[in-house]
Amino acid sequence: MIPLNLLQEISEKYSTPGYIYDAEKIRENCTKITRAFTRHYPSTVVHFAVKANSCPAVLKIIAETGLSADCSSPFELLLANKCGFEKSKIMYTGNYESPQDLAFATEYASIINLDDITSLKRLTSFKVPEVVSFRINPGIGRGGFEGVVTGGVDAKFGVPYEQAFKAYQDAYDLGVRRFGIHMMTGSNNLEPLFFAEITEKLMHVAGDVFSRLGVAPEYIDIGGGFGIPYSNAESEIDIEKVAELVSSRFIENCKKYHFQTPILRIEPGRYITGNAGILLSRVTGKKTGYRNYTGLDAGMNSLLRPALYGAFHRIEAPFKKETPLVKTNLCGRICENSDIFARDILLPDLEEGDLVLFRDCGAYGFTMSSNYNGRPLPSEIVVDRGKVTYVRKKETPQEMLKKHFKEQES
């Protein structure tokens, strides 16, 4: 936890809105999930899902702890490469991959999880890879919100499991003999049994496909999805239990299908950085009308989750303890009425310039921010054992203008 007096200091020195990440918490999360899984199944490889947090200093910390990376775009590949992940530790999992995406993935990643049978055709038009892996939709999925359910009949991702054999047979017919298999069925799940259930499902698909082909997979990837509590009513995911249940189903099925110790891959994003980041913002205006509104310099352009999913974040005004609590609607400055972080929230009576803190913003915070309404991207700061070690300043309107014209020239 970053001490409040340091946050106050940071807020005075750097402009808001800004994301602040706790380096030690990130290291702790990396260690916790890696230890839990490797204790039960030593051949586990943990890939950080870069889409959750793309801050270069954060990626460097994660690479230093020994984790691998999972990327979903050419930019994420370049970033992972620059931040210390060797090619052997970079995996690519996209969807509806363009030939350009696949060319980048071939250059920067050692493993590609293909989203579809047609993706294999696009890839092999310029290169037949040594190892082929498909993202399988196992027919089930679950997530914190409808928008983050990525498996099941309504998900746009992956090869339906009924078509899995055909997908691998196509690759086999091209001469490929080394295989992996992948799934990602949903995000922000807190229930250990769910992970056991999806593992069992994928193992059966793998068992069927690879026994029929007469080969064994080199790796089996169960994706990410390990949730974090956002409210006081939720508790932390029992990651030990998840690892124990997943590994036991994994090992049992490896025996059943005669797979010789394949690598078990997992791809946590939120679990690694979610609770290690906060968003600091300042009040820019207050209004009393049909309802009371408190407007902030952060908006749906800085933190999209509440507007997009109705996501809840704990919001505090920790520097304003002495005043009585009042009800307000906390919003940003974007010209959309979904730009409301919380309705009827009880907070100290805030004034212009006061600081507001959003908890658990280390995943899908900055990476989902935008320049909408011509607003700058927020700043990013890393605090490492009490020291401010990295600062990306908030963009200025002039820098945004420059970027805009550069894009037009190229």
Q: Which residues are catalytic?
A: 335
Instruction: Determine the Cα–Cα distance for residues 304 and 369; give it in Å rounded to an integer.
Output: 7
Picking from 146, 155, 151, 244, the residue whose alpha carbon sits closest to that of residue 205 is: 151
Binding mask 353-372 for ligand LLP (x = CB under 6 A): ----------xx--------
Q: Distance between the two ends of the chain, CA-based, in angstroms?
A: 44
Q: Does 188 bind ligand LLP (CB under 6 A)?
A: yes
Q: Does 133 bind ligand LLP (CB under 6 A)?
A: no
379: tokens are: 């700043």
Residue 93 lies near ligand LLP (rule: CB under 6 A): yes
Nearer to ligand LLP, 94 or 129 (CB): 94
Toward ligand LLP, which CB reaches closer, 363 or 381? 363
Figure out which of the listed residues 63, 181, 184, 254 binds ligand LLP, where binding follows CB under 6 A. 184
Say if CB 396 and CB 36 are below 8 A apart.
no
> CB-wise, 124 or 367, nearer to ligand LLP?
367
Helices (H), 41-115: 56-64, 74-82, 99-108
Give the contacts of 11 (CB within 8 A, at least 6 positions apart).
18, 280, 282, 355
- Residue 223 in contact with ligand LLP, rule: CB under 6 A: yes
Asked whether 381 and 21 are in contact (CB, 8 A), the reply is yes
CB atoms within 10 A of CB 176: 18
As measured in angstroms, the least distance from the Cβ of 389 to ligand LLP is 24
Q: Which is nearer to ligand LLP, 161 or 172 (CB)?
A: 161
Q: Least CB distance from residue 142 to ligand LLP, whole Å?
A: 11
Residues with Cβ < 8 Å from 51, sequence gap 6 or more?
Answer: 72, 76, 269, 364, 367
Site string (40-79) toward ligand LLP, x via CB under 6 A: ---------x-xx-----------------x---------
- Contact segment (CB under 6 A) with ligand LLP among 173-181, 200-208, 263-271, 321-329 equals 263-271
Told to check if 115 binds ligand LLP by CB under 6 A, we report no
Pick the closer one to ligand LLP by CB: 85 or 271.
271
Instruction: Report CA-CA distances (Å) from 145 to 140, 225, 292, 310, 342.
Output: 15, 12, 28, 9, 17
| Inter-helix orientation angle 74-82/56-64, to 10° | 60
Quick note: the x/- pattern for ligand LLP over 284-313, rule CB under 6 A, is: ---------------------x--------
CB 225 within 8 A of CB 184: yes
Q: Considering the rule CB under 6 A, would residue 273 count as an interface residue with ligand LLP?
A: no
- What does the DSSP assignment read for 222-281? ----B----STTS----HHHHHHHHHHHHHHHHHHTT--SPEEEE--SHHHHGGGEEEEE
**Nearest to ligand LLP of 249, 305 (CB atom):** 305
Should residue 268 be labelled a site residue for ligand LLP when binding is judged by CB under 6 A? yes
Chain contacts with ligand LLP (rule: CB under 6 A): 49, 51-52, 70, 93, 148, 184, 187-188, 223-226, 267-271, 305, 363-364
